Chains A and B, each alone.
Chain A
Amino acid sequence: MTSIGTGYDLSNSVFSPDGRNFQVEYAVKAVENGGTAVGIKCKDGVVLALEKLVTSKLLKPGANKRIATVDRNIGIVSSGLLPDGRHFVSRARDEASQWRGLYKAPIPTSSLADRMGSYAQAYTLYSSVRPFGVTAIIAGWDSEAELPVDGQVGSGPGVGSGGKKGGSKYGGPHLYMIEPSGLYWGYYGAATGKGRQIAKSELEKLNLSEGNLSLEEGVKEAARIIYVAHDDNKDKEFELELTWISSLNGPTKGRHEEVPKELKEEAERLAKKSLEGDDDDEDEDKMEE
Chain B
Amino acid sequence: MFRNNYDNDSVTFSPQGRIFQVEYAQEAVKQGSVVVGIVSKTHAVLAAIKRNAEELSSYQKKIIPIDSHYGVALAGLASDARVLSNFMKQQSLASRLTYDRAIPLSEITLRIADRAQTNTQQYGKRPYGVGLLIAGVDAKGPHLFEFQPSGVTQEMVACGIGARSQMARTYLERNLDEFESCSREDLIKHALRALKESLSQDKELTVDNTSVGVGGIGENFTLFEGQDLAEWLETTFENREGQDEDEDAMETES
Contact = CB atoms under 8 A, between A and B. Distances in A.
A227 B38 CA distance: 32
Given A10-B6, A30-B18, A130 B13 contact: yes
B15 A9 contact: yes
Contact of B154 (A12, A64, A90): A64
B26 interface: no
Interface stretch (A79-87, A185-193, A232-240, A281-289): A79-87
A130 B18 contact: no
Given A23-B12, A28-B17, A30-B13, A87 B155 contact: no
A254 interface: no
Nearest to B159: A58
Contacts of A4: 15
Nearest to A128: B123
Interface string A9-33: 1111000000000110011111111
Contacts of A84: 117, 121
Majority secondary structure of chain B interface residues (helix, strand, loop or mixed):
loop
Interface in B128-185: 144, 150-152, 154-159, 169, 172-173, 176
Nearest to B149: A83
A123 B121 CA distance: 9
A26 B11 contact: no
B38 to A, nearest CB: 9
Interface stretch (B61-69, B108-116, B216-224): B108-116
A22 B12 CA distance: 10
Majority secondary structure of chain A interface residues (helix, strand, loop or mixed):
loop
A4 B5 CA distance: 10
A9 B169 CA distance: 39
Given A29-B13, A87-B121, A129-B11, 4 more contacts: A22-B15, A26-B14, A86-B151, A130-B11
Interface of B: 5-6, 10-19, 110, 113-114, 116-118, 120-124, 144, 150-152, 154-159, 169, 172-173, 176
Interface of A: 3-4, 7, 9-12, 22-23, 26-33, 56-60, 63-64, 81-84, 86-87, 90, 123, 127-131, 133
